[in-house]
Structure 1
Amino acid sequence: MNIAFFLTPKKDVVYQKESSTMRQALERMEYHRYSAIPIINDEGEYVGTLTEGDLLWKMKNTPGLDFSNTSKIRIKDIPRKFVNKPVRINCDIESLLITAAHQNFVPVVDDNNKFIGIIKRSDIINYCYEKLFNVKEKLKA
């Protein structure tokens, strides 16, 4: 099986450019109710994942920073505590599963490190559940 089966393409993924502001990221994450989003650079390359924790630590560790002036902080200037490892689109299923075991989503890049989408751990788990327990067949009966 090819990992592209699980791919949510970039056009359907909520992500943010690293040149965006902290306020833009906060508002986007709040609107979509996400606790983490992929970050790409202006060339479309995956550069990391921004989490709510990263935003909170930035606010805590920056004297005088509050929501009203988060538009002055660029995402690229926010330290990230966790590294979401990307996989290449031609990665094998075993490597994908090992990576997904430690992340809620796995960023997927092409051979030029261009961000092409994500694979959600929940999609992998749902697929495995259906296969293990023949859920579709039981639902039809």
Structure 2
Amino acid sequence: MTEDSTLRQTLERMEHHRYTAVPIIDKEGEYVGTVTEGDLLWYMKNSNGRVHFENASKFLLKDVPLRVHNKPVRIDADMEDLINLAKVQNFVPVVDDRNRFIGIVRRSQIIEYCEKLVTKESQSQ
């Protein structure tokens, strides 16, 4: 999602893809944070009825306070960096050397990688 996406666009994308969190990028393609379902719900709740689903297209994602900052890794990060972040994040954003967003590595992918290593090691013994 971009910072200029509306709350409605964000909610609809999250619902369609069954995401509970999505990365946010700015106009230059830089990673700026991750918005969660909770962030959106708290924003709506704390708006004193000003923001609701029917008018969610009038509010921008950049105005939603983010409770957690998912730290990104650079494209040249090693697996140890990914594992350390995956312990506390469902996914790890990946950026290039100019902080341009490239994609994400999901926690499940990291666990699968570790599982293959463990399986391979136990078979070689």
TM-score by length of 1: 0.81
- CA deviation after TM superposition for structure 1 residue 93, in Å: 2.0
- CA deviation after TM superposition for structure 1 residue 72, in Å: 1.0
- CA deviation after TM superposition for structure 1 residue 131, in Å: 2.3
- CA deviation after TM superposition for structure 1 residue 32, in Å: 0.5
User: Does residue 27 of structure 1 match 2:43?
Assistant: no
What is the identity percentage for the equivalent residue pairs of Structure 1 and Structure 2?
A: 60
Partner of 1:115: 101
User: What are the residue-to-residue correspondences of 1:1-141 with 2, within 5 Å?
Assistant: 16-64=1-49, 65-134=51-120
Gaps of at least 5 residues in structure 1 are 1-15
State the alpha-carbon separation in 2 of the partners of residues 37 and 56 from structure 1.
14
Q: Amino acid of the residue matched to residue 115 of structure 2?
A: Y
Please provide the CA RMSD for this pair: 1.2
- CA deviation after TM superposition for structure 1 residue 68, in Å: 0.5
Q: Amino acid of the residue matched to residue 94 of structure 1?
A: E
State the alpha-carbon separation in 2 of the partners of residues 98 and 131 from structure 1.
17
- CA deviation after TM superposition for structure 1 residue 63, in Å: 1.8
Q: Secondary structure at the match of 1:107?
A: strand
Output one character per residue of 1:35-83: Cα deviation in whole Å (capped at 9) or x when no partner: 0000001110000001000000001000222101111110000001011
Which one has more relative contact order, counting CA pairs under 8 Å at least 6 apart? 1
Structure 1 outlier segments of 4+, above 6 Å:
none
Aligned residues: 120
State the alpha-carbon separation in 2 of the partners of residues 129 and 107 from structure 1.
21
- CA deviation after TM superposition for structure 1 residue 22, in Å: 0.4
Higher mean C-alpha deviation, range 89-98 or range 108-117: 89-98
Output one character per residue of 1:5-29: Cα deviation in whole Å (capped at 9) or x when no partner: xxxxxxxxxxx11101000000000
Q: Secondary structure at the match of 1:43?
A: coil
Q: Amino acid of the residue matched to residue 19 of structure 1?
A: D
Gaps of at least 5 residues in structure 2 are none
